[in-house]
Structure 1
């Protein structure tokens, strides 16, 4: 049986001294990790990990992209596209990309207009190269849903979905996926969202190195956590663990195409 952590930042420096432990676990437990990037440097690092440790294995997949937090400043979109084209055989998708008004308060140069320019460039590259996308949509689900149909995107996932039920229905009606993380084990709001989701359009994730509280307090966020999420999802949706595992793996396969 296979499991999939659909969103984790394994190229983050917080994981540097844990790579061997995590990679050994992934191989032993058959947990596939989709490594997300946030800028040019993390994209390069993710690709380096892929080539060094999983060159001939699909257990480690790479998404490259520019996170809205890093849309301002010296983003060189031509350099990013050159990287994409030169390493296309090792790149599964484009992510983490999106829009987030939170970051406009932290950096006056990171305007929503600038974020949208970078976001649309990432969508263009995804369309051009027929890649799925992983979306950061905090406080911006409506804006993203307005932009996405302008591009022929193979598949899209609203990572860490935290919107309302009406937008969830809009997302699922368009055939887009949503993902749920370790917070599912202790958040009643997320329980309700999971139950409202199309079961064929959900994935699970950890979003490491983000840390979690309650039962995960103090633990290193790693792909191993997806087993607990799968189990709890099976309880909430009244499925057997085996059936839930198969559904989520099939969903992941369709998302990655």
Structure 2
């Protein structure tokens, strides 16, 4: 069992007991670090506090798109917090577009969410920070346009789902993609893994989001990533040791760990 890094986890959304368990078990399961993303200001503050206690936690601050838009005051306070703590912040995230909300309610306009995302992208560029993105299917090309518009070089499309042409565009721009433990049982994700160059790939849990298959009923834990690495090695017909090495190298290089 080699070292791994969870490239995307909502650590603040676990209970205090679960957080303690995860952190106590990181060494046992060879988890070198966690990139902990945020959903809003309160989430960012909690994530920042967690990172102050444990240096293995790499905090990212942002506003998750699958929720009601922030008020002008809420956005001002969030950006102010991010500005104040941008030296501690490894990335701007999680940000993006509300794909699932719009599927449930097609009357929701994407335009104000695009404006919010563009604001976050501009700040990320000013702070020279990577952007962690919730952008899947037909939303991904829209996000690519915004990233290209502002000459953003560091973008991480987490738990990506989309077509081959968008994958080629993301990879061509030098951006990164990541997959979750659902790669063990989702054929769509397995096809993506075969297409994505290993040098453009990272692994994550998106915990505490739950998984099915062999993980049904289990608390999502970074240790699940070891099964993901083994599956990636199988799909790409590569030695598992080489896959471990490349995935960790990719994550350290991207997040400057």
TM-score by length of 1: 0.92
Post-superposition offset of 1:110 = 5.5
Q: Structure 1 CA distance, aligned partners of 2:68 and 2:3? A: 35
Contact 2:131 2:156 in 1 (8 A): yes
Post-superposition offset of 1:102 = 3.1
Post-superposition offset of 1:111 = 2.7
Q: Secondary structure at the match of 1:37?
A: coil
In structure 2, the residue matched to 1:235 is: 234
Change (3 A) 1:235 1:255: same
Q: Structure 1 CA distance, aligned partners of 2:195 and 2:106? A: 37
- Report whether the alignment pairs 1:99 with 2:100: no
In structure 1, the residue matched to 2:21 is: 21
In structure 2, the residue matched to 1:90 is: 88
Q: Secondary structure at the match of 1:31?
A: strand
Q: Structure 2 CA distance, aligned partners of 1:170 and 1:135? A: 15
Q: Structure 1 CA distance, aligned partners of 2:201 and 2:169? A: 14
Change (3 A) 1:161 1:108: closer
- Report whether the alignment pairs 1:120 with 2:118: yes
Contact 1:208 1:221 in 2 (8 A): yes
Contact 1:37 1:64 in 2 (8 A): yes
Post-superposition offset of 1:242 = 1.3
Q: Structure 2 CA distance, aligned partners of 1:201 and 1:71? A: 32
Contact 2:67 2:98 in 1 (8 A): no
Post-superposition offset of 1:100 = 2.2
Post-superposition offset of 1:199 = 1.3
Gaps of 5+ in 1: none
Contact 1:4 1:204 in 2 (8 A): yes
Q: Secondary structure at the match of 1:111?
A: coil
Following superposition of structure 1 onto structure 2, how do residues 212-223 of structure 1 map, counting pairs within 5 Å? 212-223=211-222
Q: Structure 2 CA distance, aligned partners of 1:71 and 1:35? A: 22
In structure 2, the residue matched to 1:8 is: 9
Task: Report how many aligned residue pairs link the two structures.
Answer: 252
Post-superposition offset of 1:109 = 9.2
Indicate the RMSD between aligned Cα atoms, in angstroms: 1.8
Gaps of 5+ in 2: none
Change (3 A) 1:164 1:107: closer
In structure 2, the residue matched to 1:36 is: 37
Post-superposition offset of 1:27 = 3.3
Contact 2:40 2:62 in 1 (8 A): yes
Q: Structure 1 CA distance, aligned partners of 2:31 and 2:64? A: 28
In structure 2, the residue matched to 1:72 is: 69
- Report whether the alignment pairs 1:133 with 2:131: yes
In structure 1, the residue matched to 2:141 is: 142
Identify which of 97, 111, 126 aligns with 2:109.
111
Q: Secondary structure at the match of 2:218?
A: coil
Contact 2:62 2:93 in 1 (8 A): yes
Post-superposition offset of 1:114 = 1.3
Q: Structure 1 CA distance, aligned partners of 2:68 and 2:120? A: 11
Q: Structure 2 CA distance, aligned partners of 1:87 and 1:185? A: 37
Q: Secondary structure at the match of 1:144?
A: helix
Following superposition of structure 1 onto structure 2, how do residues 184-195 of structure 1 map, counting pairs within 5 Å? 184-195=183-194
